[in-house]
Structure 1
Amino acid sequence: MLEELTVTAWQYFGHDRLYVNLPDGTPIGWADRRTGGITVVHARYRDDVTDMLARRAPELLTPAEPDVRVHPGAFDTPSADPPARSAPPVKPPVPSAESLVPSAEPRPSGMPPAPSAEPRPVPPAPPAPPRSAAPPSTRPARSAPPLRPAGLPELTPETDLASQRPGATLRATAPEAGPGESGLLERLSSRVQRRRPMDAARRKELLGERRTGAELGRLTRHGWRVLHSIPLPDGGDIDHLLIGPGGVFSIRTEYHPQQSVRAADDTVTVDDGDPRPYITECRAEAALVQQALERHTDFPVTVQPVLVLVDAASLDVAATQTGIRVYRERQLSALAPLSGALTAHEADRLYDIARRRGVWAGA
């Protein structure tokens, strides 16, 4: 088994790790070079991960028992972890079988050590007895959980949302503007591109989503992934979905040029007008995204709602407003340094799920 595993170095988001991978590239554990801690994705990989790390980076494993923990997204509960090994991790050279099996005092004068090993009731064992003594029935479970759980919709160029532009759903579902509802430039542009002209209100919404999309695009240099205009069965959409080291964020855009906006606990008012349910709608969208993603993962997913007010003259957020993040479009840069919520493997997996149009068909 050890000969089939690989060890790769990973340095990103301020982390410095060594990953132990299965032959297909799936990580089964890693060591943090800064803290010396070791994490395994499943209790049954504990020995394999520590043995491989002992070969690649012996300085991480001291003669004392290393600090090994099972990742919280693993299938095993902490009580299911195997007992700690009493022997230190394997370090070359490998001890011989004779050194592991004590012999009685009369043995050297009566019988040579090699022949006497055959009738002994305990066969020679490698330094990690629990692994070699495991019953054969536990060995087929060596493979890690598949990257794509059963039932995950197929990914094709037609169903890949990674190429979806900001406002694409808004553009596709916009009713055709009536006479006088669209400007001359919009009518000429629509005619050249062979699409329906949009009225003034829809054009403003589209401009807001594109402005927010441009700001989110700046975060990709920090390791974030962005999806835009995720279509929903009811004809609506998730304006933007941001996935990265700091977690998953469901982002809703509202365009209020040169208007004063105040966000309270559950409502938003614009120029002291009637309350608008933007915050309630943001929370509902985040819950919908969480349910859609968790249907295809084996670990819990937390989705944080974000409301972006584009081109607002002023934005006042009440001190009691802690349920969601309320930003102007330029303030989205505050998300860039966030980290620690997802591992690189988890973020890649969630992005692979979210980009599939079929995932949202039943949302």
Structure 2
Amino acid sequence: MSGLRVVPAFRHGRERLYVCRPDGSNVAWYDRETGRVNLLAEDGRDDVLAALKPFLTGQVTVGPPPVPTPAELARLTLHPDDDLAPNRPGEALLVALDRDPGPAHRLRPDPRRRALAAEQTVGEALDRLEGAGWHTLHSVPLPGGDRIHHLLIGSGGLFAVHSLYARKTRVLVADPMVTLGRHEAEPVLRRLRADADRASYALTAEVHPVLALAGPAHLTVTAEPRRVRILQDPELDGLARLGGVLKPADVEALHAMARDRNTWARV
């Protein structure tokens, strides 16, 4: 096999180097992230490695392409419009503010921007758990206009996380009511439990509710809330230490199900 050329490309967010024949057909590809050379034909192994030699770094595994898991197959067949995984923290608010930024002469800050700041702070903290084998979906839409701010999936289970802006504010939690500073108390925990129950129904797995406070000055909890964890944003990385609930294959399967917009259509 001679005349091979190497063509760089991006696929599913990963850089790959494809090894092609003169007619353009592929004989192998090198995935830099995983350090693997995937051969479509074993008899061309030496020629492929010779063509890739200038590009190979570190320890490399060579062999046939791995068989995709059911979760990977589900992801590959998912229509881009139905895939929730690309959502940014605060995606729904970002879209709403882009469509209607509101008057520029507001005397008071737009409350949507504070809510967005909370979702971005909490969302970025949860996204950092990705390296520990966890997945986070943001702005998961529910029928009726509701949404789950963040859905965290990992070895410790599933968590519906609600972000609340509380920077330099006294926060009083008296289940189910939450009071921010001098604002009127709202039944935040009741809504959060209801959203977690809807997520449990959609995914046929237990989903735990979490209230995440972005930057509170002082937190007072009158009694331990029923079923709800209350965490400040610096404490969210502690969720990664939870384990023993889901196997890696279960995590991937639930993530594949949850990222499909159609999963949430009837809850």
Question: Is the CA contact (8 Å cut-off) linking 2:168 and 2:217 kept in structure 1?
Answer: yes
Taking the aligned partners of 1:182 and 1:352, their CA distance within structure 2 comes to 44
Are 1:177 and 2:105 matched, yes or no?
no
Which of the numbers 258, 261, 264 marks the counterpart of 1:357?
261
Which of the numbers 60, 82, 89 marks the counterpart of 1:166?
89
Q: Secondary structure at the residue paired with 2:241?
A: coil
Gaps of 5+ in 1: 1-22, 27-145, 184-198, 295-300
What is the deviation of 1:229?
1.0
Amino acid at match of 1:181: R
Partner of 1:330: 234
CA RMSD across the alignment: 2.8
Are 1:201 and 2:127 matched, yes or no?
no
Runs of 4+ in 1 over 4 A off after TM superposition: 23-26
Which string of whole-angstrom CA distances, capped at 9 and with x for unpartnered residues, describes residues 159-185 of structure 1? 2111110111122234441351399xx
What is the deviation of 1:349?
0.5
Question: Is the CA contact (8 Å cut-off) linking 2:71 and 2:256 kept in structure 1?
Answer: no
Which string of whole-angstrom CA distances, capped at 9 and with x for unpartnered residues, describes residues 52-96 of structure 1? xxxxxxxxxxxxxxxxxxxxxxxxxxxxxxxxxxxxxxxxxxxxx
**Structure 1 segment 329-348 matched on structure 2, within 5 A:** 329-348=233-252
Question: Is the CA contact (8 Å cut-off) linking 1:226 and 1:242 kept in structure 2?
Answer: yes
Question: Is the CA contact (8 Å cut-off) linking 2:118 and 2:163 kept in structure 1?
Answer: yes
Taking the aligned partners of 1:171 and 1:235, their CA distance within structure 2 comes to 15
Question: Is the CA contact (8 Å cut-off) linking 1:307 and 1:325 kept in structure 2?
Answer: yes
Taking the aligned partners of 1:206 and 1:338, their CA distance within structure 2 comes to 27
- Per the normalisation by structure 1, the TM-score is 0.50
**Structure 1 segment 108-187 matched on structure 2, within 5 A:** 155-174=78-97, 175-181=100-106
The verdict on how the C-alpha distance between 1:317 and 1:334 changes in structure 2, with shifts beyond 3 A counting, is: farther
Amino acid at match of 1:274: E
What is the deviation of 1:147?
6.2
Range with greater deviation from structure 2 (309-318 or 169-178): 169-178
Partner of 1:243: 153
Taking the aligned partners of 1:240 and 1:288, their CA distance within structure 2 comes to 14
Partner of 1:258: 168
Question: Is the CA contact (8 Å cut-off) linking 1:173 and 1:235 kept in structure 2?
Answer: no
What is the deviation of 1:263?
1.4
Gaps of 5+ in 2: 1-65
Partner of 1:288: 198
Amino acid at match of 1:229: S
- Per the normalisation by structure 2, the TM-score is 0.67
Question: Is the CA contact (8 Å cut-off) linking 1:315 and 1:328 kept in structure 2?
Answer: no
Q: Secondary structure at the residue paired with 2:197?
A: helix
Taking the aligned partners of 2:130 and 2:101, their CA distance within structure 1 comes to 35
The verdict on how the C-alpha distance between 1:221 and 1:179 changes in structure 2, with shifts beyond 3 A counting, is: closer
**Structure 1 segment 38-77 matched on structure 2, within 5 A:** none
Taking the aligned partners of 2:224 and 2:124, their CA distance within structure 1 comes to 30
Question: Is the CA contact (8 Å cut-off) linking 1:225 and 1:351 kept in structure 2?
Answer: yes
Q: Percent identity?
A: 37
The verdict on how the C-alpha distance between 1:170 and 1:261 changes in structure 2, with shifts beyond 3 A counting, is: same
Partner of 1:4: none
The verdict on how the C-alpha distance between 1:262 and 1:337 changes in structure 2, with shifts beyond 3 A counting, is: same
Taking the aligned partners of 1:228 and 1:217, their CA distance within structure 2 comes to 10
Relative to total residues, which structure has the larger strand share, 1 or 2?
A: 2
Question: Is the CA contact (8 Å cut-off) linking 2:118 and 2:165 kept in structure 1?
Answer: yes
Amino acid at match of 1:338: L
Which string of whole-angstrom CA distances, capped at 9 and with x for unpartnered residues, describes residues 172-220 of structure 1? 234441351399xxxxxxxxxxxxxxx6211111111000011101211
Which of the numbers 315, 320, 326 marks the counterpart of 2:224?
320
Range with greater deviation from structure 2 (350-359 or 316-325): 316-325
Q: Secondary structure at the residue paired with 2:82?
A: coil
Taking the aligned partners of 1:231 and 1:291, their CA distance within structure 2 comes to 14
Count the aligned residue pairs: 200
The verdict on how the C-alpha distance between 1:273 and 1:159 changes in structure 2, with shifts beyond 3 A counting, is: closer
Taking the aligned partners of 1:344 and 1:244, their CA distance within structure 2 comes to 8
